A and B are shown apart, each in its own frame.
Chain A
């Protein structure tokens, strides 16, 4: 009894020490940045007197990061609560356009039709704000291949059902000519539509050309015979781990420990590789709404960069360009300004094991947020 108690006290002390260490570390970093003649940023910039509830929903990829952002945010502004419902990107955009959310999390920017619909709900339309960067992992279950490399066109042929066996020469070519034993490939994917698949099909369309006839921006992969469909990203990851010969695209943050992940175009999935892809291949291509920050990846440029992981996943928070409620505006903007700070990005990336957005993007986000009325 005594031993247990002293053990738990030690544990509490340890946690306390770590927390303190964490605090001091972030304090020093913010002090250095506030030493510059700019205004206060990050945790220091949060107004502790803010109170209220932010209602948001959408991308399930963002959910861990949103937990990280909001925990850090409400450590300063203790009266603020974030309710983030990970109902899926499409559902988030739908509910946002219907006017029931303060912001939507989405793995894809608003489509042209949605931009028009949003402009009907919010005067001045809605803005896509990039907040979260991660990658789509190609998880596989093939015991004979401890490491696996797949090119874009091989991947496209597998997902389109044109390559159905692990012994296929195209897979051997991608792996230095070493052929795998014959085994059926089972493609596992999501039965519900997802931003993960949108980012994956964007890559396939951009990198594989005619080998991926289905085109970009698809929320669900076209159904092929034998394809194994599961509800939700976590179920897909579990299914791939359970089925011998399975392969599928999984959101990086949904990967379970021990999952085997393939390299794509010779590049391993690492946070550094994703950051490189963002730096090389991403360009803001705003829609008609002034200040919008939606963008796209140039997969040809990414392919040319041998350090860039070819399937990045960029997720947006979508906010009204004009708020109807001044208090709500103050709250949501303070929260997003925090997300767009280095402190905020660090809090989210640590929690979700994702990648911090580059400063160039964060600067543009801050500039756009300043224009919100």
Chain B
């Protein structure tokens, strides 16, 4: 008995690893097992506690401002940090922000998702294996770039780069409301923000779609090719239908990222609390997250509560989006996925 902990410490318990069933492993319980069980269970509970803690914090902090009459609250009508000045209640303040959040995220998805899926298809079905590996790695690396760096890139590169395009669209297609209005000379447009946002959501959509494309049964692919399909027809007939729900869920996860993105929008876009679909002007709706980043520093204590209340709403929206995404993924991965895993490894 005394030797048992030493064996465990020696990187051991080979009997354990070799145990045929979970039940047996449970029975042969050693100190290491119990400690590890405790740690992992603790970690699992901790994440629940943290999530609940965040939700409770948001609700407690937000509560005083959500139902209140803002016009009668002197702190919310504070002129020195006047961003809540003149708003009658929480919903009047947050609705343009909610609109801006959804509109900016939608634009980012519109621009980013097709490119991301294209990259994923290229990596999984077109690129030579070696190039695919490098490209996949590079796209994943994009996810590691801090959003402040994306913001600076947006200011220094994307804004001036888009200048001529803005003028062209406004002059020739100004009759479309999207491109109407008076062009922002400095380029602090929602279009610039949405493009940077689109780049930021590329990695998550690409990596998930790529995994799912790789899971397409090779029998289906080979069958399509054997019937005389070209590669594009094979992708259309075999890969895309198989991956449809996976693509949707990856796009929804990308949307989750776009909804919460802060610094890039706060730094690039000239923000107003308005409802506007115009893409090329200085009068852009802003997002909840960017608004918090902009205003929290100057907010007084009650205004901070109001900002936290907008954060609560964002939390609810993001939670819902992620929930739907997980649900779609869950539905997609039942059945074929289990049989797929060996195939995926082989195709790598």
The interface of chain A, by Cβ under 8 A from chain B, is 87-91, 93-94, 97-98, 108, 111, 113-114, 117, 184, 186, 188, 191-194, 198, 215-220, 223, 225-231, 235, 239, 242-246
B79: interface (CB < 8 Å):
yes
> A111 to nearest B CB, angstroms?
6
Most buried by A among B75, B80, B272: B80
Q: What 0/1 readout, one digit per residue, does chain B (245-258) give for beta carbons within 8 Å of chain A?
A: 00000000000000
On whether the beta carbons of A192 and B297 are closer than 8 Å, the reply is yes
4 cross-chain pairs, A with B, having the tightest CB-CB distances, nearest first: A90-B298, A193-B298, A193-B81, A91-B297
Most buried by A among B272, B298, B300: B298
Q: Can you pick out 8 interface pairs between chain A and chain B where the beta carbons lie within 8 Å of each other?
A: A90-B80, A193-B298, A225-B283, A226-B182, A228-B282, A229-B188, A231-B294, A239-B188
* B75, B80, B155, B186: the one within 8 Å of A198 (CB): B80
Main secondary structure of the interface of B (DSSP, over half): loop
B38: interface (CB < 8 Å):
no
On whether the beta carbons of B79 and A215 are closer than 8 Å, the reply is yes
> CA of A225 to CA of B181 in the docked complex: distance in angstroms?
10
On whether the beta carbons of A223 and B188 are closer than 8 Å, the reply is no
B71: interface (CB < 8 Å):
no
Interface stretch, picked from B129-137, B190-198, B204-212, B263-271, is: B263-271
Query: Nearest B residue to A215 by beta-carbon distance?
Result: B79
* B270, B298, B301: the one within 8 Å of A230 (CB): B270
On whether the beta carbons of A90 and B82 are closer than 8 Å, the reply is no
On whether the beta carbons of B299 and A90 are closer than 8 Å, the reply is yes
B102: interface (CB < 8 Å):
no
B78: interface (CB < 8 Å):
yes
* B75, B80, B182, B267: the one within 8 Å of A231 (CB): B267
B281: interface (CB < 8 Å):
yes
On whether the beta carbons of A113 and B75 are closer than 8 Å, the reply is yes
> CA of A188 to CA of B301 in the docked complex: distance in angstroms?
28
B29: interface (CB < 8 Å):
no
Query: Nearest A residue to B276 by beta-carbon distance?
Result: A225
> A251 to nearest B CB, angstroms?
14
On whether the beta carbons of B295 and A228 are closer than 8 Å, the reply is no
Query: Nearest B residue to A188 by beta-carbon distance?
Result: B186
* B79, B281, B282, B304: the one within 8 Å of A218 (CB): B79
B74: interface (CB < 8 Å):
yes
* B186, B283, B296, B299: the one within 8 Å of A246 (CB): B186
How many chain B residues sit at the interface, stated as a range, is 20 to 34
* A91, A98, A184, A192: the one within 8 Å of B182 (CB): A184
> CA of A54 to CA of B270 in the docked complex: distance in angstroms?
36
Known contacts A229-B282, A231-B267, A217 near B79 by CB under 8 Å? yes
On whether the beta carbons of B185 and A90 are closer than 8 Å, the reply is no
> CA of A219 to CA of B83 in the docked complex: distance in angstroms?
8
Residues from chain A with a CB closer than 8 A to the CB of B296 are 91
Known contacts A215-B79, A228-B282, A193 near B295 by CB under 8 Å? yes
> CA of A198 to CA of B271 in the docked complex: distance in angstroms?
19
On whether the beta carbons of B294 and A117 are closer than 8 Å, the reply is no
> CA of A333 to CA of B328 in the docked complex: distance in angstroms?
62
Q: Given contacts A89-B80, A192-B295, list 12 more A-B pairs with CB under 8 A.
A: A88-B298, A90-B300, A186-B186, A192-B298, A193-B297, A194-B298, A219-B298, A220-B82, A229-B188, A229-B270, A230-B270, A243-B186
Most buried by A among B78, B82, B297, B300: B297
> B5 to nearest A CB, angstroms?
46
Residues from chain B with a CB closer than 8 A to the CB of A242 are 186
B184: interface (CB < 8 Å):
yes
Known contacts A94-B300, A191-B294, A231-B267, A219 near B186 by CB under 8 Å? no
